[in-house]
Structure 1
Amino acid sequence: MSGSGAPSITTDGSGLRVVVVAASWHTTVMDGLLAGARRVLDAAGVTDVREVRVPGTFELPVAAAVAARSGAVDAVVALGVVIRGGTPHFEYVCQAATSGLTDVAVTTGVPVGFGVLTCDDEAQALDRAGLPGSHEDKGAEAAEAAVATVVALRSL
């Protein structure tokens, strides 16, 4: 299982402005991811948090790009879930989301916390959603990474 060897990150995010962009598919999983991100941002002292919902994971990069280019945010947290089906759709959406979000971060210099679950089945997604009984909390991890990266970049 992933998560083994994960760092323990505690970062002061006071004064940071963060946008959480979240897909709407798979409500239970998305609710868990959002709760994890909210919890971490609150613990880091981030009080300027906006949430934007988009239809699905494929739409995350364009929303993240608009937020990052606005100049009004220090970081973006992108949350979504894609569950494998019987067609190549899974691969296309996963690749588009991953490449798109990477491009946003690299071209704008605004950190993007990657909280997109790419799972073979719903059980895997639920196990990573930060829900009671889940083994991982990828929403929390994405928010931690975004805040920590802002702080790290400011030291350069």
Structure 2
Amino acid sequence: MSGAGAPAVEVDARGLTVEIVASQWHTEVMDGLVAGAVRAAEKAGARYRVTRVPGAFELPVVAESLARSGADAIACLGVVIRGGTPHFEYVCDAVTRGLTDVAREHMTPVGFGILTTDDDAQALDRAGLPDSKEDKGAEAVEAALATALVLRAL
């Protein structure tokens, strides 16, 4: 599991807003990721809004719009499960590059909560559900808010 060695992040983000953008594919996994993201925002004291998009491919354009509007932090959540065609590689590459470009061009932290897994079981293990081993939705929000605080302190 990739979560080994992950830092414990405690964030006091009172006064900040995190925009949570989540795809709709893989409902059970996405519901877990969104719930974890909301829990993390509430725990940090941040305001939040959840916006749903059709799939992972649509995340960068919405993140771009939010960054242009002055968002403090953005957390993008999605699931891309490997199949029998190159579609997985194309979508993963496009989403990763798109979100990286948004963060760098706008100096807006973008938490990367995109699960790129070989199968449904791996996605469920990372979804923040009661039986999951990891909570990638919460981690994405924590990372985005912590980075927003770092940027403000520079």
Alignment of 1:89-128 (within 5 A): 89-128=87-126
Post-superposition offset of 1:15: 0.6
State how far apart, in whole Å, the 1-side matches of 2:28 and 2:143 are: 23
Which 5+ residue runs of structure 1 have no aligned equivalent? none
Post-superposition offset of 1:54: 0.5
Q: Secondary structure at the match of 1:38?
A: helix
Q: Secondary structure at the match of 1:152?
A: helix
Q: Secondary structure at the match of 1:151?
A: helix
Contact 2:24 2:52 in 1 (8 A): yes
Alignment of 1:5-154 (within 5 A): 5-46=5-46, 48-71=47-70, 73-154=71-152
For this pair of structures, how many residues does the alignment match? 154
Q: TM-score, normalised by structure 2?
A: 0.99
State how far apart, in whole Å, the 1-side matches of 2:49 and 2:134 are: 24
Q: Which amino acid aligns with 2:141?
A: A
Post-superposition offset of 1:114: 0.3
Contact 2:37 2:137 in 1 (8 A): yes
State how far apart, in whole Å, the 2-side matches of 1:127 and 1:67 are: 29
Cα deviation code 1:94-142 (max 9, x no counterpart) = 0000000000000000100000000000000000001011111000100
State how far apart, in whole Å, the 2-side matches of 1:152 and 1:10 are: 13
Aligned-residue RMSD, C-alpha: 0.6
Post-superposition offset of 1:81: 0.3
Question: Stretches of 4+ moved more than 4 A in 1?
Answer: none
Q: Secondary structure at the match of 1:20?
A: strand
